[in-house]
Amino acid sequence: MDFPALHPRLCLRALLAASATLGAGHCLANAQTPVNFVDLSLEELSDFRITSVSRKEERLADAAASIQVLTADAIRRAGARTLPEALRLASNLQVARINASSYAISARGSNTTTANKLLVMIDGRTVYTPLYSGVFWDAQDVLLADIDRIEVVSGPGGTLWGTNAVNGVINIITRRAQAADGDLAQLGGGQAGLGTAYRHSGALGGGGAYRVYAKADRERRSATLAGPRARDEQVRAQAGFRADWRDGGDGMSLLGDLYRDGAQQQPTAQQPAPGRVRLSGANLVARWERATADGGSWHVQGYLDRTEREIPGTFAQQLNTLDLDLQYSQPELNGRQRTFGGGYRLANDRVTNSAALAFLPARRQLRWANLFAQQEQDLPNNMRLTLGLRLESNIYTGVEWLPSMKLAWKPTAEGIWWAGLARAVRAPSRIDTEFYIPGRAPYQLAGGPDFRAELADTLELGRRASHGNALTYSLVAYHTQYRRLRSIGALPDRTLVLDNQVHGQVQGLEATVAHQVTPAWSIDAGGMLQHQSFSGGVTPQSPQGNDPRAQLTLRSKWNLDARQEWDVTLRHVGRLPSPAVPSYTVLDLHWALRLSPTMDVAVNAANLFNRRHREFASGNAARQPVNPVVFGRSVNVMLTARF
């Protein structure tokens, strides 16, 4: 939420702004370059297998959800250097850059620097901070060259993926080690920053394969509205590995990462002196899968995750997480299929408080447990009914119920209609219940001991269809009713307290269309319209995010010949209302040339329409940087070698 500009809450604004200035980790452009630079055709994309909608493989064309798939080649052709830049390809997301290292990312509204209604996974590992139920994007990095696809689902996903999957799910999936195309080296640079990466892959005994990588990036200082460069540069280093084995119906995977990051923190009115944010961490994921002879499947996964961060003058945190997950999908019988499973997560969180603010108790053990089941049943007239239920417990509110129902109708092989109704929950976080300002009594702001889970009931109507092999489109209308959203109340002693007094609704439309004009040229477009209305809390209309009413993306991809490609992207984002940020339109260009069978060069030009523009402002004027960051034209060159 965005807090009003009242003096007792200045430190809270500082915390939210400081935690959100830790942006996404920096990556280099994807180097998985298919022969002759050819991306998937529309027919191949319709047959693309996805897993994020029903936790099992299904064709994209059959998925009854608002989902967009960002392929490896699409990410490369976009010239993306970071995960947030890659996510701009999804027109059902709002991706706003704040400074050199910080982004605000959400689906269907509620976008703030500490957005908390979007679930993000990387290879099955949920990336989540219990401090505010959101994502520290600076801690999330992968080598973009190793991404297989990113599945972006807008809309509720709580039945299968749990609390906090309120407005959407982002599932980042890297390629199996067997798919690595040998060794790879990358070197890139331009006005935005510098980066280098190296990956080595090889074979293991017993049908296995492995890859290891290392990368380093430096993000340059941003321009500012007043002219001088901001002190917001970021330096990041990361290394990792993945190993996969396959033996008949059994498959095993082991993967992990180790990273260290440092970023300058922009001065604000409350903290005039900049400080250096420090971040480090490591994770290890183990996965076992088995396909049974009768068509069923087992999936067992566990991971360990450790992060450490220090925000000068605000707080420091050490977080250790253990997560276990089990799933079984029964074979389909008589048009009926069931999927069920459960999981358990344990987190030990230790915060070093400051005089300005505190999390009390400073040390907290957090636990989540869940059980879920989903049944799909074929009905007459090519209809299919899906019913699901999840029970998930947390230490703050106990057991939460997350039911869903979906009805799909496929009258022809070329199109599907669907309708869905779901209840999603945003479970309380430490900032809701255990946060205090100042760091010692007497407190002016306190977490709400009776803070309840936020609720969202969503109705969706959708259509996805294709006409031949040259045209595909999708259209989704949705209405979400929110209850018990976070607000600020007052106790009898005039202490401010966090409570649940904001209610509201969001309606919107999401649309995509793609046309294969010729075998070498395709165009696609996507956009969204939305209207929000909230009431309650401190103000009569309490905004829950700084969101545009409309945004649109138009993209042209053209393979000039067997060695060259040329892409043009036009993107428009509407005005942000509170605090106000003007609308902007940007034009991005991408040109790539295959110099030899093992070497490519790519030139990416961004923001060609704008000498400079802002993308996001959070909270209110009192919380804004002293000299706001703006983004202008930039050119980046990337050299990729495979050997």
pLDDT, one tens digit per residue, over 316-329 is 999 999 999 999 99
Considering the chain, what percentage of its residues have pLDDT values greater than 90? 68
Computed from CA positions of residues 544, 82, 63, 427, in that sequence, does the dihedral angle turn out positive or negative?
negative
Half-sphere exposure at residue 233, Cβ-oriented, CA atoms within 13 angstroms: 11
Question: Which pLDDT score is estimated for 266?
Answer: 60
Quick one: CA torsion of 165, 143, 44, 53, rounded to 10 degrees?
-10
Nearest in space to 205 (alpha carbons), one of 244, 241, 242, 240: 244
Q: What average pLDDT does this structure show over 293-311?
A: 94
What element of type H or E holds 73? helix 72-77
Considering the chain, what percentage of its residues have pLDDT values greater than 70? 89
Other C-beta atoms within 10 Å of 519: how many?
Answer: 9
Per-residue model confidence as pLDDT tens digits over 127-147 = 989 999 999 988 899 999 999
Question: 639, 187 in Cβ contact below 8 A?
Answer: yes
Q: Is the pLDDT of residue 540 over 80?
A: no
Backbone region of residue 126 per phi and psi (left: phi > 0; alpha: psi in -120 to 50; beta: other values)? beta
Question: Which pLDDT score is estimated for 432?
Answer: 94
Per-residue model confidence as pLDDT tens digits over 25-63 = 333 233 333 334 446 666 676 677 888 898 888 888 899
* pLDDT classification of 535: cutoffs 50, 70, 90: confident
Question: Which pLDDT score is estimated for 509?
Answer: 98
Q: Is the pLDDT of residue 299 over 60?
A: yes
Quote the distance between the C-alpha of residue 590 and its chain's center. Answer: 24
* pTM score above 0.95: no
* pLDDT classification of 262: cutoffs 50, 70, 90: confident
DSSP state of 439: S
**214, two tokens:** 């290392």
Nearest in space to 238 (alpha carbons), one of 201, 287, 283, 203: 283
DSSP state of 82: B
**162, two tokens:** 């749990």
Question: 129, 115 in Cβ contact below 8 A?
Answer: no
Q: Is the pLDDT of residue 12 over 60?
A: no
Question: Which pLDDT score is estimated for 229?
Answer: 83
**579, two tokens:** 């605090």
Q: What average pLDDT does this structure show over 119-132?
A: 94
User: Which of the listed ranges 59-68, 521-530, 617-626 does the model predict with the highest average pLDDT?
Assistant: 521-530
Q: Is the pLDDT of residue 17 over 60?
A: no
Domains and CATH numbers, the chain: 7-415+424-642 (2.40.170.20)
Per-residue model confidence as pLDDT tens digits over 432-448 = 999 999 989 889 999 99
Mean pLDDT of the chain: 87
Q: What average pLDDT does this structure show over 456-472?
A: 94
Question: Which pLDDT score is estimated for 332?
Answer: 87
